[in-house]
Every structure is written in C-alpha cells, then in structure tokens.
C-alpha cells in the first residue's frame, strides 16, 4: 500500500494537514464521549429509584381498587368508571443533549378524574383514582428517562467506535505514510547529493 504513495513534499504537507484535522476530530469526539458518559450516568442513577417508585405506586393503586371493589356494589363501580371525563394528551418535545435529540414528555390534562356522585361510591375509590394519577405521572417520568438513556447509550457506542477508529487506525496510518514519505525524500536527497558530488569530481578531474 505504501509503495503506491506519491512520495512528494506536497503529498507530505497534505497528509500533515489531514493528521492535524484527524487529531482535532479525535479530541472533540473524546470530549463528546466523556460528556455523554457523564450525562448517561446521571440519568441512569435516577432510573432505578423511579422504577421502584412506579412499582410501589402501581401496587398501591391495585390494592386501593381491590378495596374499593370490596366496599361497593359491582354495578355502582361500573357506573362510576364507565364514562371517563378526564382527558389527557402526551406532548413529546425533542431537546438536544450533546447533539442527541432526546424526548421530553409532558402531559396536558382536561377534566376531573372523579366525576361520579358520592352517594353510591366509597372513599376507597377516590383514593384509588388519586393513586392512579400519581403512578401515571411517575410512569411518564420513567419512560422519558429510559428513552433518553437508550438514545444516549446508542450515541455513546457510536462515538466510542469513531474515537477508536481515529486513534488506532486513521491517525497511525497517516503518520506511518508521512514517515514513509520522509524516508523516501531523504533517500532521494542523498542520491541527489551523491550524484552532484560525482559530477563535481568529474568536472574537477
């Protein structure tokens, strides 16, 4: 491969520019890799507590609904929950973390979750619905953090590969080519010097 290189000073100069550019890219990508790692660790540290919180809240919600069912007539339970009057929509906004577009989730809510009469319902149903609201908020937060972590982890893997290719393949190969051209130029310079000396000897002789 090196034998096919055009061993000229112009080529050597171009390669030096390329290695300087590759080194700068390597430095910037290394900084990006380190910052993504830091952000990822920070987000990941919130996921387990959030997951534990969601599991706890869902268990509490289930327990409260079971208690509500035990204290209400089945037809009253169905009537209370039959027509939902609280509506929500999930708004997904993309924000940038180290040039990675990650979702930021927010909910928009209309109406009231408790829309039934209180004569035929128990207080346990009220508590169950409030517990469901809390669990839902935590679920949205958890989904946001997990998706952000997934996208950052993918970007981190890609950035690491680019850093490794530059560090272990691209830059060493260019430096080796520069060294090879330098050696060829030195050989050519010695040959020229030797020829000039012979010509000088011939002229003097």
Phi and psi, residue 90, nearest 5°: -95, 120
> What three-state secondary structure class fits 90?
strand
- CA–CA distance, 200 with 197 (Å, rounded to integer): 5
More confident residue, 79 or 201: 79
The residue ranking higher by pLDDT, 168 or 112, is 168
Whether the pTM exceeds 0.85: the reply is: no
Q: Is residue 17 part of a domain?
A: yes
The answer to whether position 115 is within a domain reads yes
Backbone Cα Rg of the chain: 35
Q: Is residue 204 part of a domain?
A: no
185 located within any domain: yes
Number of domains in the chain: 1
**pLDDT, average across residues 181-198:** 79
CATH of the domain at 166: 1.10.287.3240
Are residues 14 and 178 in contact, defined by beta-carbon separation less than 8 angstroms? no
| Amino acid 109: pLDDT | 76
Assigned domain for 35 exists: yes
Residue 205 lies in a domain: no
Q: What's residue 159's pLDDT? A: 97
Looking at the domain assignment, is residue 70 inside a domain? Answer: yes
> Does residue 61 lie in a domain region?
yes
Angle ∠(140,143,145) on CA atoms, nearest 5: 110
Percent of the chain with pLDDT strictly greater than 70: 90
Enclosing domain of residue 86? 2-199
């Amino acid at each position: 491969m090196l034998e096919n290189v055009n061993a000229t000073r112009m080529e050597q100069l171009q390669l030096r520019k390329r290695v300087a550019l590759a080194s700068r890219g390597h430095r910037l990508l290394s900084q990006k890799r380190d910052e993504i790692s830091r952000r990822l660790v920070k987000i990941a540290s919130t996921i387990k507590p959030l997951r534990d919180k969601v599991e706890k809240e869902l268990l509490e919600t289930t327990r409260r609904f079971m208690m509500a069912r035990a204290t209400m007539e089945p037809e009253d339970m169905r009537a209370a929950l039959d027509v939902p009057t609280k509506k929500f929509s999930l708004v997904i906004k993309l924000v940038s973390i180290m040039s990675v577009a990650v979702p930021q989730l927010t909910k928009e809510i209309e109406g009231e979750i408790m829309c039934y009469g209180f004569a035929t319902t128990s207080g346990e149903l009220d508590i169950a619905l409030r517990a469901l609201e809390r669990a839902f908020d935590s679920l949205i937060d958890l989904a946001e953090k997990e998706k952000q972590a997934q996208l950052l982890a993918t970007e981190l893997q890609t950035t690491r590969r680019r850093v490794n290719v530059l560090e272990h393949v691209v830059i060493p190969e260019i430096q080796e080519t520069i060294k090879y051209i330098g050696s060829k130029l030195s050989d050519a310079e010695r040959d020229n010097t030797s020829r000039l000396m012979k010509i000088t000897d011939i002229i003097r002789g």
